[in-house]
Amino acid sequence: MITPGFLYLTGALLLFLPLHERIKYIISFLITTGALIVTFYLIPGYSLQLDFLNYTLVPFKVDSISKLTGLIFAVAGLAAVSYSVNICSLPNLRLIFVFIGSALTVVFSGDLFTLYIFWELMTISSSFLIIMASDFTKKTGYYYFLMHVAGSLSLLWGIFLQYSATGSLSLNAMEAGIPFVLIAIAVKLAFVGFHTWMPLTYSKAPFYVAVVLSIYTTKVGVYVMARLASGINILAYAGLISALFGIVMALRQNQVRKLLSYSIITQVGYMIIGISIGTFEGTSGAMFHLVNHILYKTVLFMAVGVVIYTTGKDEFDNLGIMRKKLPLTSIATLVAIMGISGVPFFNGYMSKTIIKDALHEPLLKLGLDLMSFGTSLMFLKLIYYAFIKNSSMNLVKKPTISMQLGMGLLTVMMLLIGIHPYLLENLTNIHVDINYFDKKHMISGIKPFLWSIAIFILFNKYVVKNYERLLYFDIYRKMGKLFVTTGYVLSNYHDGKLNKYLLWATTTLITLLLLLMF
C-alpha cells in the first residue's frame, strides 16, 4: 500500500530529474492530490510491519486520530505546494516535499524509531529550507537547526530510556523519560521558554517558507504530544501560561508575521489544554482545533505572503493594500480572522467549544475565555490596519493565480466546517456529543469577541501603538557563548610547544599507572 508520506518523498526524488518547467507543475500536482486521495481512503486499523536490525518496526499505522491529522496535513500540503510552486526554486521545492513527506510519515508512524527518524528528517529538511531560502536567513537557519536538534536529541534520549525500561519501541504513552520527551515536544511546539526560534524564523524566512513551516512544525509537536504524553493534568496550566504569554507578546509586535507567530503560541496553548485533560473529548477537541488552526493560520500566513509579494514588506501599514486592491485575499483574511476569534458559524468556534465543554476546572475556563478575548483583540489590530485605516500603498506586482488557488481552497474548507461542524466528525468517525448551535454555547463563544471589540474601541491608542522592541534575554545564546569561550581557552593551550605536549603525555602515563595499579 502506498503511504502518503512515501508519495511525497518519491516526489522529492522525482524532482531530481532534469526537468522542464511544466513537468515540475505536473509532478507537484499529481503528488499532492495523490497523497490527499490516498489519505482519504485510508482505513483506520491498517498497519504495516517491517523487520529492521533486531527491531520489529511499524512504519505505517492508521487510526482515527492519525487519519484526521493526516487528512488536514494532506489538504494543507496541496494548498501550500500550489501556493508556493511558482515562487520557489527547484531545490527548495524538493526540500518542501521532503519536509511534508516526513511530517506525514511521523503522523502515521507506529513505533518510536520511525517517529524519531522522520521527526529528525523534518528538522533537517526545514532547516535547509530556511538556510537555502535567502541570503538573510543563514544565521536564523543555524539557530533553528541547533534548537530543533537539541529538542530531537532530547526525544531520542527519552526513547532510549523508554526502550531500556520496557524493551519495546511501540508507540504508546511513555512510561520512562517523560521529562525529556516533554522538552522535545516543547521545542517543537514553541512552548514559552522554548519558543525563541519561532518569531525569529517566521519573520525572517521568505513568506512561502513561513507558510509551509507554520503548517507542520508545531502541529507535529501537538500530534506527538497527544500520542506520547496525553493526560498530564498539570500541563493544562502550563498551556494556559504559554498562551497568555503569546497574547502579551503578540500585542507588542510591529511585524505582522511576528504577531502571527506569537498567535501560534496562543493557539497551541488551546491544544495543550485539550490534550492534558486526557479525556476523549479533550483530545478530540485538541485534534479538531489542530485542523482548524492549520486552516486559518495558513490562510493568514498566505495572505500576509500575498501582501509581501505585492508590496515587498510585512509592516502593518502595508496591510492597507488589502481592502483596495486584493479583494479575494481580503475575504479569505476576514474568514480566517473570524475563525481564529471563535465567532459562531466560523470554524474555530467548533473546536474551542469542544475544549471548553471538556474542561471542568473554573480557573481554566476563565483562562480559556481570556485567551479567546486576547486572540480577538490582536486580530482586531490586524483588521484595523487592513480595512479601517486609510493607506496609500500601491501594487508592485499582481499575486499569481496559483497563490490565490491555494488560499481559496483552504477558505472554502473553513467556511464548510464553520457552517457544518459535523463534517469533520463524520469524516473521521470521531463523534463528540455536542450541539454546537444551542444558545448557551453560542453566547459563550461570541462573548469574548464582543468584549474585545469594546476594549479595542476604548483603548484604541494603546493597542495600535508602535511598541519598542523588548530587550529580551536569550539564555540559549548565553549557553552558546559559554561553549565558545571554553573552546577558546582550551585551544589556547595548544600553542605549539612540543615539550608541553610531551609533558601532558607523561602525566597521562603516570595517572594511568596510578589508576590501574591501585
- We find the least distance from the C-beta atom of residue 506 to another protein, in angstroms, to be 6
Residues 418, 345 contacting (CB under 8 angstroms): yes
Q: Kindly indicate which of the ranges 263-271, 312-320, 396-404, 491-499 contains the residues binding another protein, using the contact rule CB under 8 A.
A: 491-499
153 contributes a contact to another protein by CB under 8 A = yes
What letter does residue 388 receive in the DSSP assignment? I
504 contributes a contact to another protein by CB under 8 A = yes
- We find the least distance from the C-beta atom of residue 80 to another protein, in angstroms, to be 23
172 contributes a contact to another protein by CB under 8 A = no
Q: How far apart are CA 37 and CA 363, in angstroms?
A: 43
111 contributes a contact to another protein by CB under 8 A = no
Which residue number, 52 or 422, has a Cβ lying nearer to another protein? 52
499 contributes a contact to another protein by CB under 8 A = yes
45: left (phi over 0), alpha (psi -120 to 50) or beta: left
451 contributes a contact to another protein by CB under 8 A = no
DSSP string, 307-329: HHHHHS--BGGGGGHHHHH-HHH
Q: How far apart are CA 56 and CA 168, in angstroms?
A: 9
As a whole number of angstroms, the longest Cα–Cα distance in the chain is 86
DSSP string, 15-81: TTS---HHHHHHHHHHHHHHHHHHHHTPPTT-EEEEEETTEEEEEEE--HHHHHHHHHHHHHHHHHH
Instruction: Give the residue, chosen from 193, 312, 327, 487, that forms a contact with another protein under the rule CB under 8 A.
Output: 487
- We find the least distance from the C-beta atom of residue 144 to another protein, in angstroms, to be 10
120 contributes a contact to another protein by CB under 8 A = yes
Strand extents, DSSP E, 418-510:
none
17 contributes a contact to another protein by CB under 8 A = no
Which residue number, 95 or 306, has a Cβ lying nearer to another protein? 95
For residues 345-378, one letter each, b for 16 or more C-beta atoms within 10 angstroms of the residue's C-beta and e for the rest, the string is bbbbbbbbbbbbbbbeeeebeebbebbbbbbbbb
Instruction: Give the residue, chosen from 363, 395, 458, 503, that forms a contact with another protein under the rule CB under 8 A.
Output: 503
Q: Kindly indicate which of the ranges 131-139, 168-176, 248-256, 300-308 contains the residues binding another protein, using the contact rule CB under 8 A.
A: 131-139
Instruction: Give the residue, chosen from 12, 79, 103, 156, that forms a contact with another protein under the rule CB under 8 A.
Output: 156
Using CB under 8 A, count the residues that bind another protein.
Answer: 54
Instruction: Give the other-Cβ count within 10 Å of 156's Cβ.
Output: 19
- 3-class SS of residue 231: coil
- We find the least distance from the C-beta atom of residue 480 to another protein, in angstroms, to be 8
184 contributes a contact to another protein by CB under 8 A = no
What's phi and psi for 132, nearest 5 deg? -80, -20
For residues 7-28, one letter each, b for 16 or more C-beta atoms within 10 angstroms of the residue's C-beta and e for the rest, the string is bbbbbbebbeeeeeeeebbebb
Q: How far apart are CA 61 and CA 3, in angstroms?
A: 10
498 contributes a contact to another protein by CB under 8 A = yes
C-alpha cell read off for 197: 526560534
Which residue number, 6 or 296, has a Cβ lying nearer to another protein? 6
Which residue number, 87 or 149, has a Cβ lying nearer to another protein? 149
Select from 352, 340, 504, 361 the least CA-distant residue to 410. 340
Select from 338, 342, 334 the least CA-distant residue to 368. 342
18 contributes a contact to another protein by CB under 8 A = no
C-alpha cell read off for 83: 501556493
- We find the least distance from the C-beta atom of residue 333 to another protein, in angstroms, to be 34
Instruction: Give the residue, chosen from 47, 89, 168, 486, that forms a contact with another protein under the rule CB under 8 A.
Output: 486
- We find the least distance from the C-beta atom of residue 141 to another protein, in angstroms, to be 7
Q: How far apart are CA 317 and CA 301, in angstroms?
A: 16
Which residue number, 46 or 501, has a Cβ lying nearer to another protein? 501
160 contributes a contact to another protein by CB under 8 A = yes
- We find the least distance from the C-beta atom of residue 379 to another protein, in angstroms, to be 36
- We find the least distance from the C-beta atom of residue 148 to another protein, in angstroms, to be 10
In DSSP terms, 55 is beta-bridged to 52
What letter does residue 195 receive in the DSSP assignment? -
Which residue number, 422 or 493, has a Cβ lying nearer to another protein? 493
Which residue number, 53 or 234, has a Cβ lying nearer to another protein? 53
Q: Kindly indicate which of the ranges 35-43, 135-143, 279-287, 309-317 contains the residues binding another protein, using the contact rule CB under 8 A.
A: 135-143
475 contributes a contact to another protein by CB under 8 A = no
Residues 374, 247 contacting (CB under 8 angstroms): yes
Q: Kindly indicate which of the ranges 140-148, 243-251, 298-306, 462-470 contains the residues binding another protein, using the contact rule CB under 8 A.
A: 140-148
509 contributes a contact to another protein by CB under 8 A = yes
Q: Kindly indicate which of the ranges 133-141, 209-217, 293-301, 369-377 contains the residues binding another protein, using the contact rule CB under 8 A.
A: 133-141
Q: How many residues does the chain have?
A: 518
Which residue number, 193 or 480, has a Cβ lying nearer to another protein? 480
Instruction: Give the residue, chosen from 1, 121, 325, 476, that forms a contact with another protein under the rule CB under 8 A.
Output: 121
> Which residues, 6+ apart, have CB-to-CB distance to 171 below 8 Å?
58, 61, 109, 110, 111, 112, 115, 227, 228
Residue 155 to residues 140, 176, 201, Cα–Cα distance (Å) = 23, 12, 22
- We find the least distance from the C-beta atom of residue 190 to another protein, in angstroms, to be 19
Which residue number, 426 or 485, has a Cβ lying nearer to another protein? 485
Residues near another protein, by CB under 8 A: 53, 116-117, 120-121, 124, 128, 131-132, 135, 138-139, 141-142, 145-146, 149-150, 153, 156-157, 160, 163-164, 480, 483-484, 486-488, 490-492, 494-509, 512-513, 515-517
